[in-house]
Structure 1
């Protein structure tokens, strides 16, 4: 798996994104087959595990670079879903339409913070 994995990586400088050149899903995340009859694994998760070991239970892998095709382990870190949602808002990656239905106390609302007009997400009428 290790050798097969790296043949699909455009490996550049240590601080640059290493782009996955193999199969990708509809959102641009790399996929790699791990075994016959099994669902493909996410390439960035495999990269993280090869470098740092197993992903702790309850955590996911986040891209510091916000590039879904990146598999540079230096750009990957563990975090919670809440961390990932906070990153999404802070880095302006959210779909504005999906935020219109969020209200304080509603499922999925994480205190998204002020919009450019000073209002909180989901509080506009």
Structure 2
């Protein structure tokens, strides 16, 4: 990926919900089927996380073999602090370690991966009530709870990917919480 112009950089960041440095910065424009942001650059579609990484670290060469991985496991996130470089093998190992592997053969350090996955799942389960409270507050305020309106909330993608909850299940659990209050 070549260096971006000032106009391309401004156009890109205008489509990102930039928040506090430790929060996810979701890409608000087009996304692919896996939920990753896609940005049109030089007539071709590029993953938004790759573009964000290139803007933040312009001297790093992003070859096709280099994968941009997410510490946060939030596909639309473009916060450079949440992104790290890796290979396809690194990304797969990260996926196995965090318990998101489906159909990937198990490694010799399976017990370590399972332990890390359990810790990760517990952390996600601890964050779930905050997500449900945020969605319940939107419901109480009469705000929409569409996919686009709540996908940026902290913990949404972790609840979807790690706990296997669907968008509808998250909204239903939040409605139950709102009715209980």
TM-score w.r.t. structure 1 length?
0.74
Return the alpha-carbon distance in structure 1 between the equivalents of residues 31 and 55 of structure 2. Answer: 19
What does residue 72 of structure 1 align with? 79
1:50 aligns with 2:47: no
Structure 2: gaps (5+ residues): 1-7, 115-181
**Cα shift at 1:45:** 0.2
Distance change (3 Å), C-alpha of 1:80 and 1:110: farther
**If each structure's helix is expressed as a fraction of its own residues, which one has the higher value?**
2
Return the alpha-carbon distance in structure 2 between the equivalents of residues 111 and 68 of structure 1. Answer: 28
Return the alpha-carbon distance in structure 2 between the equivalents of residues 89 and 64 of structure 1. Answer: 13
Question: Structure 1, residues 85-121: CA drift from partner, whole Å, max 9, x if none?
Answer: 11101111112xx24xx3xxxxxx65461386xxxxx
Partner residue of 1:7 out of 11, 14, 20: 14
**Cα shift at 1:39:** 2.6
Kindly indicate whether the alpha-carbon contact (under 8 Å) linking 1:55 and 1:78 is maintained by their aligned counterparts in 2: no
What does residue 44 of structure 2 align with? 39
Count of residue pairs brought into register by the alignment: 104
Kindly indicate whether the alpha-carbon contact (under 8 Å) linking 2:54 and 2:62 is maintained by their aligned counterparts in 1: no
Q: 1:1-125 to 2 correspondence within 5 Å? A: 1-35=8-42, 38-53=43-58, 54-57=60-63, 58-95=65-102, 98-99=103-104, 102=105, 110-111=107-108, 113-114=110-111
CA RMSD for the aligned pairs? Answer: 1.9
Structure 1: gaps (5+ residues): 103-108, 117-125
